[in-house]
Amino acid sequence: MSHLIIAPVVLPVLAAVLVLLAGRRQTLTRAISVVSTSGLAAVALALLIAADTGEYQVYTLGQWAAPFGIVLVLDRLSALMLLLTAVVGVCSLLYAVQGCDQQGKNFHALFQFQLMGLNGAFLTGDLFNLFVFFEVFLIASYGLLAHGGGEARLRAGIHYVVINLAGSALFLIAVSLLYGVLGTLNMADLALKVAAADIEDAALIRSAALLLLVVFALKAALFPLYFWLPDAYSSASAPVAALFSIMTKAGVYSILRVYTLVFGAEAGAAQWVAAPWLLPAALATLALGMLGALASRRLKGLIAYLTVASVGTLMAAVGLFSVDGIGAALYYMAHSTLIIAVLFLLSDLIARQRGDHRDHLERAAPVAQPVLLGVLFFAGAIGVAGLPPLSGFIGKVMVLQSATATGAVYWVWGVVLAGGLLSIISLSQAGSLLFWNTDVKAEKPPLAAPASAAAIMPVAALLAGIAALSALAQPMKRFAGDAAVQLLHPAGYIRSVLG
Amino acid sequence: MTLLLIILFPLLGAALPAVAVRWGRNASAGAAAGVTAIPLALLLFETPRVLAGGTIEAGWRWVPAIGLDLTFRLDGLGFLFALLILGIGLLVILYARYYLSQRDPVGRFYVFLLLFMGAMLGIVLSDNLLLLLVFWELTSLSSFLLIGYWKHHADARQGARMALAITGGGGLALLAGVLLLGHIVGSFELPVVLRSRELIQGSPLYLPMLTLILLGAFTKSAQFPFHFWLPHAMSAPTPVSAYLHSATMVKAGVFLLARLYPVLSGSDAWFYLVSGTGLVTLVFAAYVAMFKHDLKGLLAYSTISHLGLIMLLFGLSTPLAAVAGVFHIINHATFKASLFMAAGIIDHESGSRDMRRLNGLWKYMPHTATLAMVAAASMAGVPLFNGFLSKEMFFTEALELHQTGTLWWIVPAAATLAGVFAVAYSLRFIHDVFFNGEPVDLPRTPHEPPRWMKVPVEILVVLCLLVGIFPAYTVAPLLNVAAGSVLGGPLPEFDLAIWHGFTFPLLMSVVALSGGVLVYFALQYRFNLHMIVQSPSPGRRFYNRGLAWLTGLSEIVTGGLQNGSLQRYLALLVTVILLAGAFPFWQLGWYSGSRSPGMMDGGSGVAWLLLVVSAACTVIWHRQRLLALVFVGVTGLMVSLIFVRFSAPDLALTQILVEVVSIILLLLALYLLPQTTPRESSVTRRMRDAGLAVAAGLGAAGLVWAVLTRPQDTISGFFLEQSVPGGGGSNVVNVILVDFRGFDTFGEIIVLAIAALGIYAMIGGLRVERPALDPARRPWAADSHPLLLRVASRILLPLALMVSVYLLLRGHNEPGGGFIAGLVTAVALITQYLASGIAWTEARLRLDHQRMIGIGVLIAALTGVASWFFGAPFLTSAFAHWHLPVLGELPLASAMIFDLGVYLTVVATTMLMLVTLGKIGAREEV
């Protein structure tokens, strides 16, 4: 048995422990953190290659077979999420070690625990264990969000904590309901039990399923539950916000997993229980996210709203629950995670060179590196607005195409395309203000030192990822499509888990 | 490969001018020219094949899954456009070298220009419609950079944004149209699409598809009512205008129509939409152009008008009209590029573009004036110049409509009218600038430009003349192949001659010429043209108003939804939860289970009542925080009792201990916080919240009832059976915690650890001044560490520690375990802090809590990892029963080591949280 599949959980834990034991030795803690996260990337890549054989890898913890013990399951979707997490993790971390990590305590331990929580959530095959890992990454995120201190962060942090605690409580209620009715927690087993459930239990199961959907939609930031996100993400420090770009995806992941495996085609009385709700909610999210971006007066706020909008696009495709739709969504998810991370890191680079104006969208002295930051911003904006030739465009075309043959085609096309126009307008306004409409006569802010190559590197690396995603769109789409097929045909998953 | 190289040279070579600028402006321009000249040479190399009617194709795969591939084709139409793009591009590069001033960053200019050139070449050489769209949007993006080149000008910035919004938005419509087209045909490859005319025109999606594609083309080619971005794009440097608005950017729209002409044209919808829009644009823009005082403004509207003319020709859907359209594309590119360049020279050498001030320049710059006159004559459609030929063809075709009904005369009449206006504004361009008195108050004395700045204009003007006089020997072959690929079939008979005899079109030309002269002089001398000030473009006003409306809307919507109120977000969350939870029952009805939950005994009844009452009291007195805390304590205690009632001693113990720790934690926090919560919510809001809370509570209760009344069939039977044989312990709860579901516990202790670390990160080191008086304004007790408490706590400590070790060790078989033991230890230690003060305790208890957390988690993790060495998965347990003398049988399980990790983590996290919080308000001396 290969233990590689559990490495994404164990490795960050060991790193976090070592960081704690290393105490205040700054270089050592940074080295541990970076080495571990890079190792995570290597592991994730190996797992992705392994998963792409189409085999499910099942790891039975404590040798207690499912459905009694907890299992980790690796399929293409899990592997993709792990790799995305590792890539965003490495880049955020490399940015953080430029100095952000010293603005508060315990950054690296919390960071590693957050990675552990995310990885665990992407791997587990047990609904209660999913709850546990949700708690792990959420509680780590509370700490990370507050990293760096300040009133705005604290305020946003409190809102974030309270709302997510409410979400966690609901998660527990929903899981208990399902356990009470179906008597099991393993997701594969739940799938069988739901399929075989009495018609009299249908309403109760569907109710539990919808409550669970509310939990995941809250994490994924879907309308009308996204309101916590803009403040939280825009007040987090840059590497944290960049890492959070994958955290919202944990909600998306859970919806994809649970509502195809447990409440999918075979779910009898609870078949496709999420389907009627997701698409309208997603389109509303997209539209309101884009409007929010236009109304933003700060760059980070704008990016936070674009994060919301990207979730909308993504979930619109998921909401179609077709191979094409989910395939498109997975490709788009990889794109949007990377590009949002790029923009959050970049916004910090820009803000640092604008003195007291920070990332406020107002006229200020030019930044110290207008050409470099301008080019990066332009590339990032093209990516996030879904303009060619970057992966945003390809992903958007996939999403539109996946809706073509469905009844929702006009809604999806209309909202996605109009949203694209809004993003072009808001980004061109922001870019023109930040890089063109500068006050050359104004005094240079005292701290406007040019960013070092080491600080630029993570941004450039993420953009290189975007470029790779664009150039290799065909193999990526093939992978995403295969992952979607796995999701929509869960029999193999169930067989692998339950034997 | 050649085709790819033609596109890649400008795209990849775009960086060169930026590098070369280190060696001077000439080097930068030279690099740009080189990067343009090579693909031009490559293109010309293919001339014989293309003129022979051949089509060169090349392709590579990119994303076949969505139909997007790197396929290219060079046919007559593509060749013509590529020639214009590269040829005029080369001239513009030369021209810009002299036009741009010392202050302008030349390198950046050429970078943008080359990027644009590459994108434009991509459009005309794409053999795949999605690929075409990729390049289409790239032209929008690069033109955004070009128009905004003078970034310090507000006009330039706004013009750039407007152009991007309009053409980029059009691009999105085009994307939708192309996707529909691809959906109809099943492919985005042009050869396939161009073969599918019947399929496309017969499709029910034809009209929406056509409308969307036309939206893309109309926005790009500045057709009414989307035309207004073009005049505002004039704030770009003149070389940019000369390039974008003659041969390239705005021609992309007409190119697209030409490209898809074989499959889209011929329907009524096409006819009315395309020629209707073209006709309105043609006349309207020509009219407006006459009144523009700005040289570039006049040229901008003239460009719009001519684009309308070309649109109209394609819309007419007759083969000859299409030929005329292609011909006019060539002619317009040559004369309009030269006119823009001439306007740039005038601006550059005199410092103004205002025709009310620029008068009588003939004597200062006769050479430039001559060039401008030739080009303007061509624009006006004067015989012997190339513009005349295509205009004659246009008039001829306009007359061909007489079979369409009684209104057939509209097109020829409008055409003649537009001809009149065109003559008038062309005449104005010449007369106002070069004659008509003396210059008025110019910033500098006008003079001829540098020699090389005129060369590009001269080349273009010579072309105008050559084509105009010897069409058959110059342009004919090119026109034939280009028109051939537009029509996709045999060419109609046509004769490229200046003289066709006395025909009706000639009469129209004569009317246009004479009428135009009359109109201009009438305007100038009768109505005092210079005094007529047009209201600023309504399109721009509309755009700005629309944008302001949209921004306002977004602010209202965003601000209205998100007022930053946590209460609102929570209310919304609870509402959604209620709807989600209730909907299935509303849909499917309520089925209560068949099982009776049984009767409640008296003791449980009392506990239940106390639970309900204490919970309700917490809500009622939540503003008095201490009181609320007491009620919370009661609630917790009742929960523990209920656990006892249901024979769950582990849970009861844990619950009690958690209660104790939480209450201490809350007390420490309350110590620093106000004692009462201010009343902030209005009555209505409290009613709303009460309603939501009651509904949510009832809903939860209903769900619980539904579950409890159903038969239970869970996996818990397995745990009961396997606890001893499989897990080596008879305390099933503990075996579940450390073995069956040890992985959950592993996660949960990490949650605890993170919580402590997070709290420490957030408030560790924070110091708050302790108030001198308590909330009731009494001084604090002088003896903060009473003797009795001190002594008692010190006696209790060893006892408590012993108990906790006992609990830890027996946990696997009897109630207890790492979690409970950890809490007991923590409570005992915390008591020391409370009784004797932080300083005293810390001097004796040197624990680095963070490190201890690390060690605890490490032990738990290593227990898990250790199983790997036995070939078992993470956290696999092993156990054995040893018989020892005296002690008897000693059951040992590896899970107990795991439990030790749990124990250490729980102790350390609890301590870290409490101590961190306790230190905040501590005075120095304690």
pLDDT digits (tens, 9 = 90+) for A351-377: 999 888 889 998 888 888 989 999 999
DSSP state of B441: S
Q: Chain A interface, mutation test: which of B577, B594, B720, most A Cβ atoms within 10 Å?
A: B577
List strand residue ranges (DSSP E) for B799-917, in order. Answer: 879-884, 888-893
> CA quadruple B576, B577, B580, B581: dihedral positive or negative?
negative
**CA torsion, points B471, B476, B482, B484, in degrees to nearest 10?**
130
Q: Chain A interface, mutation test: which of B21, B62, B63, most A Cβ atoms within 10 Å?
A: B63
Token representation of residue B891: 């059951």
- Asked if A113 and A96 count as a contact pair (C-beta separation under 8 A), the reply is no
Window 77-96 of B: residues touching A by CB (8 A cutoff) are: none
State how far the Cα of B904 lies from the Cα of B22, in Å rounded to an integer.
65
pLDDT in tens, A480-498: 999 999 999 999 999 999 9
Contacts of B585 in chain A (CB under 8 A): 203, 207
A256-265, A351-360, B366-375 — which is least confidently predicted? Answer: A351-360
Highest mean pLDDT among A118-122, A266-270, B401-405: A118-122
State how far the Cα of B18 lies from the Cα of B197, in Å rounded to an integer.
46
Contacts (Cβ under 8 Å, ≥6 apart) of A213: A255, A259, A273, A274, A277, B580
State how far the Cα of A318 lies from the Cα of A324, in Å rounded to an integer.
9
Which amino acid does the sequence have at B761?
A
Window 719-778 of B: residues touching A by CB (8 A cutoff) are: 719, 722, 726, 739-744, 747-748, 750-751, 753-755, 757-758, 760-762, 764
What mean pLDDT comes out for the span B409-413?
A: 87
**B740/A62 Cβ within 8 A:** yes
**A129/B583 Cβ within 8 A:** no
What mean pLDDT comes out for the span B422-438?
A: 91
CB contacts < 8 A (A, B):
332
Count CB neighbours of B462 within 10 A.
14
Rounded to the nearest angstrom, the minimum Cα separation between A169 and chain B is 12
Q: Is B569 on the interface with A (CB under 8 A)?
A: yes
Q: Is the pLDDT of residue B925 over 60?
A: no
Q: Is B583 on the interface with A (CB under 8 A)?
A: yes
Per-residue pLDDT at B402: 63
pLDDT in tens, A169-199: 999 999 999 999 999 999 999 999 999 998 8
Window 846-865 of B: residues touching A by CB (8 A cutoff) are: 848, 850-851, 853-855, 857-858, 861, 864-865
Q: What is the DSSP string of A323-381?
A: HHHHHHHHHHHHHHHHHHHHHHHHHHHHHHTSGGGTTBSS--PPPS-HHHHHHHHHHHH
DSSP state of A186: B
Per-residue pLDDT at B888: 64
Q: Where are the alpha helices (DSSP H) in A97-201?
A: 107-123, 127-146, 151-182, 187-195
Per-residue pLDDT at B199: 94
B881-894 burial by CB neighbour count: b if 16+ within 10 A, else e? eeeeeeeeeebebb
Q: How many residues does chain B have?
A: 926
Element (H, E) at A73: strand A71-74
Contacts of B706 in chain A (CB under 8 A): 204
Q: Chain A interface, mutation test: which of B573, B713, B899, most A Cβ atoms within 10 Å?
A: B573
State how far the Cα of B919 lies from the Cα of B767, in Å rounded to an integer.
7
State how far the Cα of B856 lies from the Cα of B225, in Å rounded to an integer.
71
pLDDT in tens, B501-543: 788 888 888 999 999 999 999 888 888 777 787 776 778 888 9
Q: Is the pLDDT of residue A1 over 60?
A: no
Token representation of residue B59: 């392709």
State how far the Cα of A95 lies from the Cα of A97, in Å rounded to an integer.
6
- What's the mean per-residue pLDDT of chain B? 89
pLDDT in tens, B171-199: 999 999 999 999 999 999 999 999 999 99
Contacts of B551 in chain A (CB under 8 A): 294-295
Is residue B666 helix, strand or coil?
helix
More confident residue, B212 or B915: B212
Shortest CB distance from A228 goes to which of B569, B762, B871?
B569
Element (H, E) at B59: strand B56-63
**B753/A105 Cβ within 8 A:** no
Rounded to the nearest angstrom, the minimum Cα separation between B710 and chain A is 7
Confidence of residue B926 (pLDDT cuts 50, 70, 90): very low
Per-residue pLDDT at B891: 65
Q: Is the pLDDT of residue A418 over 60?
A: yes
User: Could you tell me how far CA A336 lies from the centroid of its own chain?
Assistant: 8
Q: Is the pLDDT of residue A447 over 70?
A: no
Per-residue pLDDT at A449: 79
Asked if this assembly's ipTM is beyond 0.85, the reply is yes
pTM for the whole thing? Answer: 0.95
A5: nearest Cα among A53, A60, A69:
A60
B476-490, B497-511, B609-623 — which is least confidently predicted? Answer: B497-511
Is residue B875 helix, strand or coil?
coil
Q: Chain B interface, mutation test: which of A397, A400, A415, A478, most B Cβ atoms within 10 Å?
A: A397
Residue of A nearest to B719 (CA): A68
B707: nearest Cα among A51, A206, A201, A488:
A201
State how far the Cα of B38 lies from the Cα of B404, in Å rounded to an integer.
49
Query: To 5 degrees, how large is the angle CA B806–CA B808–CA B814?
Result: 80
Please report, in angstroms and rounded to a whole number, the separation of the first and last CA atoms in chain A.
16
pLDDT in tens, A130-169: 999 999 999 999 999 988 888 888 888 999 999 999 999 9
**A393/B557 Cβ within 8 A:** no
Rounded to the nearest angstrom, the minimum Cα separation between B581 and chain A is 5
Per-residue pLDDT at A439: 84
Q: Where are the alpha helices (DSSP H) in B867-925?
A: 894-920
**B872/A63 Cβ within 8 A:** yes
Per-residue pLDDT at B493: 81
Rounded to the nearest angstrom, the minimum Cα separation between B773 and chain A is 27
**A180/B712 Cβ within 8 A:** yes
Per-residue pLDDT at B694: 94
**A295/B580 Cβ within 8 A:** no
Rounded to the nearest angstrom, the minimum Cα separation between A32 and chain B is 14
Residue of A nearest to B154 (CA): A437
Q: Is the pLDDT of residue B160 over 50?
A: yes
B7: nearest Cα among B93, B134, B105:
B134
Confidence of residue B405 (pLDDT cuts 50, 70, 90): low
State how far the Cα of B353 lies from the Cα of B339, in Å rounded to an integer.
13
Query: To 5 degrees, how large is the angle CA B165–CA B170–CA B172?
Result: 95
- Surface-to-core class of residue B240, CB atoms within 10 Å of its CB (0-12 exposed, 13-18 middle, 19+ buried): buried
- Asked if B913 and B830 count as a contact pair (C-beta separation under 8 A), the reply is no
Residue of A nearest to B132 (CA): A388
More confident residue, B247 or B258: B258
- Look-up: residue for tokens 């904006």? A381
Contacts of A14 in chain B (CB under 8 A): 858, 861
Q: What is the largest CA-CA distance in chain A?
A: 75
Per-residue pLDDT at B403: 62
Q: Is B61 on the interface with A (CB under 8 A)?
A: yes
Q: Is the pLDDT of residue B743 over 70?
A: yes
Confidence of residue B886 (pLDDT cuts 50, 70, 90): low
List the beta bridge partners of residue B518. Answer: none
Instruction: Give domain limits for chain B.
Output: 267-503, 535-561, 729-772+786-926
**B566/A436 Cβ within 8 A:** no
Contacts (Cβ under 8 Å, ≥6 apart) of B333: B84, B88, B246, B247, B251
Residue of A nearest to B747 (CA): A132
**B850/A110 Cβ within 8 A:** no
Q: Is the pLDDT of residue A282 over 90?
A: yes
Per-residue pLDDT at B923: 57
State how far the Cα of A65 lies from the Cα of A56, in Å rounded to an integer.
15
Q: Is the pLDDT of residue B716 over 60?
A: yes
